[in-house]
Amino acid sequence: MTTPETGILPQHLLGIEGLTRDQISLFLDHAERYASFGARDAAFGRPLDGRTVINLFFENSTRTRTSFELAAKRLGADVINMEVGASSISKGETLIDTAVTLNAMHPEALVIRHADSGAVALLAQKVNCAVVNAGDGAHEHPTQALLDALTIRLRKGRLEGLTVAICGDVAHSRVARSNIHLLTTMGATVRAVGPRSLVPSGVRAMGAEIFHDMREGLRDVDIVMMLRVQTERMQGNFFPSAREYFRFFGLDREKLALARPDALIMHPGPMNRGVEIDSDVADDFERSVIRMQVEMGVAVRMAVLELLSNRTGREVVK
Ligand code: CP
């Protein structure tokens, strides 16, 4: 049974690509209600009481894994954090057999992060619980884009009509891809800013404008979203040195001055300070909303877990 509200949602959250404005707004509106509650607010209720959420992370994480765990617990669910290194995967059990085995224990949701693009979608075909993509390779990180959008919406009051510069290592970034899909769907203008080696021309087809001169790319934008340089996904040299990268593409006070005076600074974390962002601007608590992004991560993941679970018959919080 689904409520009319959740009936518009897919069974799984595998990406932002393909979601409609209404679907994105439903996640954001629901998350905004959670964001307005205190961390121990009784108004949460326990809509996932007696249900189980399993976190299955094949890549390291601080923010995403912790916030999914907190989110599920605040909703009353039991949470299992699978230790992949201590699981039967180390004995040669396949990814699919692992997911099918966990599904047989009837969790409400599997939250999966994997280094390979498409791995989470593949597993979603093999299970009947909800699957949430917590980041798959360079493909998508949908809950990151939702928490970024919620942060922007709360600070700016809207998404439509804003200009957002997504800067740096776009090529290896699932965060960039999910954000481009979300922001363009919601009526924002997106600029992809970075060196030629790190901004694939394909992002133009996704609706982003491309800038290889950061000073041009930042001019008059409302939001400066910096990306982590993902050296772990790079084979070969994509730029001469970290020092050179910072000089041309690192966000510092001088480059930030080209954006609108009230432009917000964002970063999904973890940050490489002194490479893509200077501490001076990262820690400017008037302009930087990096900590707020983390806080909104819990609210967004509560909304996602509840709305996807709700498709199998629970009341939504009012
Ligand atoms: N932004 C993000 O996904 O961070 P973690 O890798 O720490 O989860």
Cβ burial of 283 (10 Å; 0-12, 13-18, 19+) is: middle
Contacts of 26 (CB under 8 A, 6+ apart): 5, 6, 8, 9, 307
SS in 3 state form for 165-205?
A: EEECCCCCCHHHHHHHHHHHHCCCEEEEECCHHHCCHHHHC
Q: What does pLDDT average to in each consecutive run of 10 residues of the chain (318 residues)?
A: 72 97 97 85 84 96 97 96 90 95 97 97 97 97 98 98 97 97 98 96 97 98 96 76 92 98 98 95 97 98 94 45
Q: Round to whole Å and give the CA distance between 190 and 164.
A: 5
**228 has binding-site annotation:** yes
For 147, list phi and psi in degrees, rounded to 5: -70, -35
Quick one: pLDDT at residue 43? 72
Q: Distance, CA 61 to ligand 1 centroid (Å)?
A: 5
Q: Distance, CA 209 to ligand 1 centroid (Å)?
A: 26
Q: Distance, CA 102 to ligand 1 centroid (Å)?
A: 24
From the CB of 144, is ligand 1 less than 6 Å away?
A: yes
Q: Distance, CA 135 to ligand 1 centroid (Å)?
A: 9
Which residue puts its alpha carbon closest to atom 5 of ligand 1? 61
Sequential DSSP letters for 214-251 = HHHHHTT-SEEEE----GGG--S-SSS-HHHHHHHHSB
**185 has binding-site annotation:** no
**91 has binding-site annotation:** yes
From the CB of 61, is ligand 1 less than 6 Å away?
A: yes
Quick one: pLDDT at residue 316? 40
Quick one: pLDDT at residue 3? 62
Quick one: pLDDT at residue 239? 79
Quick one: pLDDT at residue 39? 67
What is the pTM (predicted TM-score) of this model? Answer: 0.94
Residue with tokens 């699919």: 96
From the CB of 269, is ligand 1 less than 6 Å away?
A: yes
From the CB of 64, is ligand 1 less than 6 Å away?
A: yes
Quick one: pLDDT at residue 256? 98
